[in-house]
Structure 1
Amino acid sequence: MRLFEHPDFEQAMLRAARHHGLSEQFIEKDYYITEILRIAVAELGEKVVFKGGTSLSKGWGLISRFSEDVDLFVNPELFDPRPGKNKINKILKSLTESVAAYPPLDWRREEGETIKGLGRNDVLAYESRFADLPGLPSAIRLEPGIQSGTFPTSEEPITSLLAQYLKEAAVEDFLDLEDIEGFEMHLLHFRRTFVEKMFALHGKVERLLGEDHPLGRDARHYSDLHVLVDQHEVRSISPPRSTRR
C-alpha cells in the first residue's frame, strides 16, 4: 500500500500541514511531486537531473515558493549509444507515460507540447482532497528535456513533507508503506541555477524593454535570485566588489 491509498491519507496531510506550518494543499502537492521524482529516478537513474525553481524548494530547501513545474534534464551523453532525435522523443515520452501511469495523476494531453528532439511539456492533474487554494493549482507540469548544463551536480536526499512528518512522529499505521522512505536524486547545483536564472531574467528584461512584453510569472526569478545571492556557494563565484566595474 502507498500513502495515497491509506484510508487516513487526508487526515495525515492535515496533521503534517500543522506540523510544518504549511497549507494542506502545499503538503499534498509536495507529495505528488516527490512521487513523480521517484518514478523519474526509477526509470532513468543517474541519467536524470532535477533542476530549476522547484529544485530550490524541493531539493535544496532554500525557498518556500512552490512552482508547478518539474524541470528534469535527461543527459543524452549517458546513453550508449547516444540517442538521436527520434530516440530522444521516445525516451522523454516514455518517462511521461510512466509518470502518467501513477494512479492519482491524470495526463492532460491536450495541454502538453513536444519540442522534437529536445524536450516536452506535459500537464498531470490530480484530484485534490482539499478546497482550491489561489496560486496553487492541482496540477503539475512535467518538463523533461536534454538542454541543460551538466555541471555541477550533487546527489541529494528527496522525501515528501508528509513522509517526513509521519516518520518523525512515528505514526505506526504508515511506517511500513511503500513510499514512506526517501531516495537519492542528482540535482543541478543551485550555483548553476543562479547563473541560469540570471541569464533567463536578462533575456526577459531585454524583451520587456524592446517589445514591451510583460514579465508575467517570470518575475518570480527575482525572488529566487534574492535568496540565492545570500548563499555562500553563490557569493564565492561573484567577483569582489573592488574588482567590479
Structure 2
Amino acid sequence: MNLHSNKTLFENIIRATSEKYKINPIFIEKDYWITKALYHLSISEYCENVVFKGGTSLSKAYQIIQRFSEDIDIAILHQESFTGNQVKSLIRNVEKSLATDLEEIEYNNLTSKGSRFRKSVYQYVSVDKLNKSNRLIMEINSFANPIPFEKLPIKSFVYDFLVNENRSDYIEQYLLNPFEINVLSKNQTLLEKLVSLIRFSFDEDIVRSLSSKIRHFYDIYFLLSDKDCVSFVYSTSFFEQFQILLVHDQQTFNEPIGWREKSLVASPLISNFQSLWEQLKEQYTNELSVLAFREIPSEDDVRIKFEELLTLLK
C-alpha cells in the first residue's frame, strides 16, 4: 500500500472518502494507516505466527462495531518449540513489519517492552499538519494462545470509496486491494473483553479502572447483537469457555492485587453493576460519541444488554 506516496492524490481521496461516508477525514486517514500496517504484516514471513484481535479487529475484519481505534492488538500463536529468546525476537520482528513507514515515538505512560509483551507508539505523517492524533498503538503479546481464529479479509475505507468510483486503476497502482490475515473469533473476543472487565473490577480505584476499558461495554453490546455470538452465549459451552479463560487470566496476571485468589461472585460487576454503571455511563457517552462514526447505543441499552450477559454468570 503506497497511496500516501502521492501526497496530493492521497489528500484528495481522503477528503472525498470522508465526504462520501460522512466520516471525519482524520479517521479515514487513520484507517488507511492501520490497514497499511496490517498489510505489511500479511505479506511478512511472520503472518502465520500471529492473530489480529481486539476491538479494532471487530471493526476491520468483522464490521460488527462502528467506532475507530488507534490500537493494533496482535497475539503470538503458541510455539511449543520456541525458547524465550525466540519468542522475544518474533515479537520484535512482528512489530517491525507492522511499523513499515512509521516512526516510533516514546510515551512514558504507554510504551512498554518486555520479553513476552511489547506496547509501542508509532506516528505517521498526516495530510493535515494540525492533526495531533496521527499515531498508532501497537500491542503484541504471547501471554495466551489466541484460538480459535479464522482467516478474514481486511480493507480500508479508501478502497471501498475507489470501488464505488470505479477507480480500479488506483486500486491496482497503489496496492489497495483487500488481503487476508488470521483474526481471533468473535466468540473468543467477547470472552476476552468480559474477563478483562471482571479483572479490572477488582482494582482499588474501580471507576477509574473500568473507565479505561469503557470501549469494552460498547463492543460487547454489538457482539451481543450478532446472531452467532448470541447462539454461543446461550450455548452450554459459553460458561465453560469463560471459566477456562478466567482461570488462565488469573494464572497469567497478578494485578490488581489479589486477582489470583478472587472469585467471580466477588466482582462488583456481578454484585453491584447498576450502581457502577451510574458512575461510568457519562464516560461511555463522552468517549464513544467521539470515536464512533455512527450513532452510539444509549446508556440504558448498553446497561440492559450487559445485565443480560451477567445473568448467565450468576
Do the structures match in fold with TM over 0.5?
Answer: yes
Aligned partners of 2:30 and 2:134 also within 8 Å: yes
Deviation at 1:205, TM superposition (A): 1.6
CA shift in 2, pair 1:175/1:54, >3 Å? closer
Deviations 1:77-119 (A, max 9, x none): 2xxx72211111111112222333x23x111156521121x12
User: Which has the higher mean CA deviation after the structures are superposed, 21-30 or 141-150?
Assistant: 141-150
Structure 1 CA distance for aligned equivalents of residues 150 and 187 of structure 2: 11
Structure 1 CA distance for aligned equivalents of residues 232 and 70 of structure 2: 29
Match of 2:104 in 1: 107
Match of 2:48 in 1: 46
Q: 1:179 aligns with which of 158, 171, 175?
A: 175
Match of 2:228 in 1: 233
**Aligned-partner SS, 1:98:** helix
CA shift in 2, pair 1:41/1:157, >3 Å? same
Aligned partners of 1:41 and 1:48 also within 8 Å: no
Aligned partners of 2:78 and 2:145 also within 8 Å: no
Report which of the two has the higher share of helix: 2
Which structure has more relative contact order (CA 8 Å, sep 6+)? It is 1
Aligned partners of 1:51 and 1:72 also within 8 Å: yes
**Structure 2 gaps, min length 5:** 236-307
Match of 1:143 in 2: 139
* Residues matched between the structures, number: 234
CA shift in 2, pair 1:132/1:216, >3 Å? farther
**Aligned-partner SS, 1:82:** coil
**Structure 1 gaps, min length 5:** none
Aligned partners of 2:124 and 2:134 also within 8 Å: yes
Aligned partners of 2:52 and 2:75 also within 8 Å: yes
Identity of aligned residues (%): 26
Q: 2:75 aligns with which of 69, 73, 76?
A: 73
Q: How does 1:1-245 map to 2 (within 5 A)?
A: 2-6=2-6, 7-43=8-44, 44-77=46-79, 82-100=81-99, 102-103=100-101, 105-109=102-106, 111=108, 112-116=111-115, 118-130=116-128, 137-171=133-167, 174-207=170-203, 210-212=204-206, 214=208, 215-239=210-234
Structure 2 CA distance for aligned equivalents of residues 23 and 59 of structure 1: 21
Alignment root-mean-square deviation, CA: 2.3
Structure 1 CA distance for aligned equivalents of residues 33 and 141 of structure 2: 20
